[in-house]
Each structure stands twice: as C-alpha cells, then as structure tokens.
Structure 1
C-alpha cells in the first residue's frame, strides 16, 4: 500500500535530516530554500511542477 505524500513535505524532511545530521549547514539549506521560493514565483514554475509530476508518475509505475 502506497502512502501519498507531497514533494514539499518529503523534501522538507530530507533537508531537516541533512541539517540535523551535519551533512548540510543551516546557511546553505536556507539559501536553497529561499532560491526555491524565488524560483516558484517565476515563469518556470509550471515546467518544474510538470517535471516533478512526470518523475513521480515514473517512480510510481515501478
């Protein structure tokens, strides 16, 4: 049984684990987060969303 989870929640959990584990410092993590918010406000947002949707469909087909 597959549990549906949004990409934002999954990526947020990964970032928290990486910061807590010491693999990524808080500065670069915040910078990447702010870049993501900025990128979401551009015209590329629909293309990125479509790409992520396609990738999720590909992964779920396995």
Structure 2
C-alpha cells in the first residue's frame, strides 16, 4: 500500500507540474485522472499493480 500511495503521489506531482508549465492543459489532466480511475476498475488493474510492485522491488534492491 505504501508503494501505491507513493506512485499515486509521484504521478500526481508530475501531472501538476505538466499543467503548471502548460505542457498539458487542465482538461487533459482531468482526462488523465478519469482514465486512471476507470483503469483501476478494469481487469488490468491487478497486472498493473504487480508490474509497479516488481519495478518498486527492483529499485529498492539497488
């Protein structure tokens, strides 16, 4: 759970910076957030979590 919160926070910060520097419009950021919520409710969510967990594990091993 800690990794998930960290990843969500990191992606949120990156998205906020992109909006702030006008690389992504506010509407585009809203679409990205909605897409994330919708993706979390699909059958792909466990695979995505496992992939992120394995990346986090490999990073923490180094």
TMscore range, shorter length:
0.7 to 0.9
Report which of the two has the higher share of helix.
2
The alignment's TM-score, normalised by the length of structure 2, stands at 0.83
The alignment's TM-score, normalised by the length of structure 1, stands at 0.83
**Matched residue pairs, number?**
59
What does 1:2-21 correspond to in 2, within 5 Å? Answer: 6-21=6-21
Q: Give the RMSD, CA atoms, in angstroms.
A: 1.5
What does 1:1-62 correspond to in 2, within 5 Å? Answer: 6-62=6-62
- Which structure has more relative contact order (CA 8 Å, sep 6+)? It is 2
Structure 2: gaps spanning 5 or more residues: none
